């Protein structure tokens, strides 16, 4: 065989195996891919074939030339192979090509560097090396007739692929588009997708849209969703009040002058469908949370409005769709947000005379920099896991990956509260925000972890372990002096990511494999008589800060918060709809029957396009520091 033959066969075989793998992943938890419809299969993967043709073109021209030409060709081919491997891995773990959100959270890539991860990297290197060795060991042959016929075949193939949309039947394109829309995928390929993610999306995310503004009908549409925007103002998001009605639940008569402590637990990546109190399929998976729910108000039909952790925490505390998330904002370039002005729930509590505290489970020098983010978002006291361990565990090593285990973390919380009773400031009310790490996707159970059942499903293990650790905290709180005057709000930073083990454990007809889902919101309040449940009517966590402020009757000041209180949803026309946004142009509309996206069937396309424009404008305002005036709030 000639050098060209080996090169062609190698890349064609590699691409074919990649397609087989991706088809298998598309079908893992869905009806079978319509292989019987050959044109549909072709139309779904035509861009893959186009990329292969381009590379074969390059090989056709360069493989028999000088050493520098072949080095260039092998480098391009290796990049092709590496990107395809990366995209296959992304599809394996998350059912989609590599996203901007994944890149933003690159500090968590270490979770994949186990034995399987190392074997995966070794397979990439081996594939690239073998391509070079197998090709170079062959004889270089030049045949003008072969060169001409090869040129003709590759040209014809390229033209056929590029003109596919012209000659493919409409029914084929409709089937393909419907298949992709059901999975919130786009008609693209590994190389095109990575280019869009790294360059086009990042560029579009920060381009100025404020000059074009919003048209009259667009302003009316966003108003229907409860969003505020004053195009004539330097700070267009600032509105006069947080809520417009009295607090929804009155204090018990004997508690009229009480100023309660408030604890908010932002559980890491916990979906409501995994909790027994929300009808979870495993009745014994979360017994501790269920016990707490039994004496709390359980809020139903409540969704996360963004992801992942950085945007989830920032977005809830500042009621915003944050531009920055992960290493793209808080980690590698903190000054992107340092010095930018936000009004947060912590600021409102400070106005009420509260001490604001955030207890982090991460290491002090962990690249996530959650501690630095919380300082920027207004917490007076931020304590990392390492600092907590030095005080309460005698510097015992962390038993979890990247952070202290959930059992260690809740020991920190308990001992922190115990010690606070001995301090002079014990009489001052506090707003305490908590964030664990042990339920993070792709995470193995910690060394001190409690497994669920047989222990074969990592997601079930992590949720059950978190529940057991939370149970220790809940038991302490019930018996402590805090219990009669402390409100506990249990929620999550975002839903559980659609990793394989979660899908396998919680597959359900109404579950869409998206990073948007129902999340828990439960309020335990000894000072008020609350109903057992409350219907949020498809509200989202962008409403978290205004809802807490309204619930507690905190100072009703002017604010730039995009959300509104879930307790007065009836004041907006689209009271049963809400909006979620992840990275650039990843916009979702949440309705009673489905979560719709820009890749959807078009039933909500106009609204989604308007919302996409509005959220892009909001993110541009954030970039230009026009969310909140620096001197708008004086905190004692």
Please say if the pLDDT value at position 56 is more than 80: yes
pLDDT at position 413 is 96
CA atoms within 13 A on the CB side of 71: 3
Q: The tokens 């035509």 sit on which residue? A: 46
Calpha distance 247→490 (Å, rounded): 20
Q: The tokens 């400031």 sit on which residue? A: 425
**Residue 106's pLDDT band (cuts 50, 70, 90):** low
pLDDT at position 220 is 95
Residues 6+ apart with CB under 8 A from 352: 259, 429, 554, 555
Architecture of domain 239-252+259-623: 3-Layer(aba) Sandwich (3.40)
Give the DSSP H or E segment for 540. strand 533-540
Q: Which of 208, 303, 373, 343 is nearest to 581 (CA)?
A: 303
Q: Which of 50, 80, 254 is nearest to 165 (CA)?
A: 50
Please say if the pLDDT value at position 124 is more than 50: yes
Both tokens assigned to 435? 């964030």
Calpha distance 525→523 (Å, rounded): 6
Calpha distance 184→407 (Å, rounded): 37
pLDDT in tens, 156-205: 666 666 666 666 777 777 777 777 776 667 778 888 888 777 776 544 44
pLDDT at position 398 is 78
Residues 236 and 621: beta-carbon distance below 8 Å: yes
Calpha distance 339→303 (Å, rounded): 30
pLDDT at position 538 is 97
Calpha distance 561→318 (Å, rounded): 7
How many C-beta neighbours within 10 Å does residue 418 have?
A: 14
Mean pLDDT of the chain: 85
Could you tell me the residue ranges of all domains in the chain?
Answer: 3-206, 239-252+259-623
Both tokens assigned to 358? 């955030």
pLDDT at position 435 is 96
Identify the weakest region by mean pLDDT among 19-23, 118-122, 181-185, 356-360: 181-185
pLDDT in tens, 29-43: 555 655 556 667 667
pLDDT at position 191 is 84
Task: Supply the DSSP string of 472-517, one letter for each residue.
Answer: HHHHHHHHSTTGGGEEEEEEESS-----HHHHHHH--TT--SSS--
pLDDT at position 314 is 96
**Residue 548's pLDDT band (cuts 50, 70, 90):** very high
pLDDT above 70 coverage of the chain, percent: 83
Higher per-residue pLDDT: 387 or 550:
550
pLDDT in tens, 569-590: 999 999 999 999 987 778 999 9
Both tokens assigned to 195? 């280019």
pLDDT in tens, 324-371: 876 545 444 445 555 679 999 999 999 999 999 999 998 777 666 788
pLDDT at position 366 is 65
pLDDT in tens, 287-313: 999 999 999 999 999 999 999 899 999
pLDDT in tens, 520-545: 999 999 999 999 999 999 999 999 99
Calpha distance 135→133 (Å, rounded): 5
Q: Which of 191, 198, 193, 169 is nearest to 49 (CA)?
A: 191
How many C-beta neighbours within 10 Å does residue 177 have?
A: 17
Both tokens assigned to 587? 């916009």
Calpha distance 434→47 (Å, rounded): 46
Both tokens assigned to 306? 């963004």
Please say if the pLDDT value at position 389 is more than 60: yes
Higher per-residue pLDDT: 339 or 98:
98
Q: How far is CA 359 from its chain centroid?
A: 22
pLDDT at position 214 is 86
Q: Which of 522, 520, 502 is nearest to 511 (CA)?
A: 502
Please say if the pLDDT value at position 239 is more than 70: yes
pLDDT at position 401 is 67
**Residue 206's pLDDT band (cuts 50, 70, 90):** very low
Task: Supply the DSSP string of 308-372, one letter for each residue.
Answer: SHHHHHHHHHTTS--S--GGGTTTTTGGGTTT-----HHHHHHHTT-EEEEEE-B-TT-TT-HHH
pLDDT in tens, 189-200: 888 888 777 776
Both tokens assigned to 340? 């930018």
Is the Cα dihedral 469, 525, 480, 394 positive or negative? positive
pLDDT at position 613 is 93
**Residue 209's pLDDT band (cuts 50, 70, 90):** very low
Cis amide leading into 445 (omega within 30): no
pLDDT in tens, 586-609: 899 999 878 998 877 678 989 999
């Amino acid at each position: 065989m000639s050098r060209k033959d080996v090169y062609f066969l190698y890349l064609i075989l590699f691409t074919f195996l990649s397609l087989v793998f991706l088809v298998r992943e598309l079908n893992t938890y869905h009806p079978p891919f319509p292989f019987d419809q050959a044109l549909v299969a072709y139309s779904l993967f035509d861009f893959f074939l186009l990329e292969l043709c381009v590379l074969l073109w390059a090989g056709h021209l360069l493989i028999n030339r000088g050493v520098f030409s072949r080095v260039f060709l092998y480098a391009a081919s290796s990049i092709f192979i590496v990107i395809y491997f990366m995209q296959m891995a992304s599809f394996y773990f998350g059912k989609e090509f590599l996203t901007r959100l994944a890149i933003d959270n690159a500090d968590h890539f270490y979770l994949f560097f186990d034995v399987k991860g190392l074997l995966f990297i070794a397979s990439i290197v081996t594939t690239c090396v073998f391509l070079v060795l197998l090709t170079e060991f062959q004889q270089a042959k030049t045949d003008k007739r072969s060169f001409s016929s090869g040129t003709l075949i590759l040209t014809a193939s390229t033209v056929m692929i590029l003109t596919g949309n012209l000659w493919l039947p409409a029914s084929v394109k409709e089937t393909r588009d419907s298949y992709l829309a059901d999975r919130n995928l786009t008609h693209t390929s590994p190389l095109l997708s990575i280019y869009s993610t790294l360059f086009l999306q990042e560029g579009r995310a920060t381009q100025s849209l404020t000059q074009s503004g919003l048209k009259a009908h667009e302003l009316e549409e966003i108003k229907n969703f409860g969003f505020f925007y004053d195009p004539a103002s330097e700070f267009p998001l600032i509105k006069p009040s947080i809520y417009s009605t009295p607090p929804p639940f009155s204090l018990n008569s004997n508690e009229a002058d009480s100023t309660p402590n408030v604890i908010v637990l932002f559980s890491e990546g916990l979906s409501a469908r995994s909790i027994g109190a929300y009808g979870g399929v495993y009745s014994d998976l979360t017994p501790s949370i269920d016990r707490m729910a039994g004496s709390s108000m359980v809020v139903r039909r409540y969704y996360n409005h963004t992801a992942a952790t950085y945007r989830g925490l920032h977005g809830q505390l500042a009621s915003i769709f944050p531009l920055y998330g992960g290493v793209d904002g808080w980690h590698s370039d903190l000054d992107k947000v340092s010095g930018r002005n936000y009004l947060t729930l912590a600021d409102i509590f400070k106005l009420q005379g509260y001490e604001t505290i955030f207890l982090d489970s991460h290491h002090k020098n962990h690249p996530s920099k959650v501690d630095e983010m919380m300082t920027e978002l207004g917490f007076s006291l931020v304590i990392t896991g390492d600092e907590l361990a030095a005080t309460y565990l005698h510097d015992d090593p962390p038993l979890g990956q990247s952070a202290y285990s959930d059992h260690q973390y809740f020991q920190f919380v308990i001992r922190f509260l115990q010690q606070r009773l001995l301090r002079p400031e014990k009489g001052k009310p506090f707003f305490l925000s908590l964030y664990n790490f042990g339920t993070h996707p792709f995470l193995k159970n910690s060394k001190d972890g409690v497994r669920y059942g047989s222990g074969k499903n990592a997601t079930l293990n992590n949720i059950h372990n978190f529940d057991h650790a939370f149970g220790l905290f809940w038991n302490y709180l019930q018996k402590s002096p805090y219990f009669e005057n402390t409100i506990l709000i249990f929620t999550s930073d975002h839903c559980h990511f659609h990793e394989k083990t979660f899908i396998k454990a919680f597959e359900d007809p109404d579950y869409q494999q998206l990073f948007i889902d129902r999340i828990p919101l439960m309020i335990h309040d000894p000072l008020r008589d609350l109903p057992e449940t409350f219907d949020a009517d498809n509200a989202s966590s962008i409403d978290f800060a205004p809802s807490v402020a309204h619930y507690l009757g905190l100072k009703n000041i002017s604010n730039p918060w995009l959300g509104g209180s879930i307790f007065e949803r009836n004041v907006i026309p689209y009271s049963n709809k809400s909006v979620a946004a992840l990275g650039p142009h990843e916009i979702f509309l949440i309705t009673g029957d489905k979560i719709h996206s820009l890749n959807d069937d078009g039933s909500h396309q106009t609204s989604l396009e308007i919302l996409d424009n509005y959220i892009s404008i909001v993110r541009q305002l954030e970039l230009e520091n026009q969310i909140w005036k620096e001197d708008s709030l004086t905190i004692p």
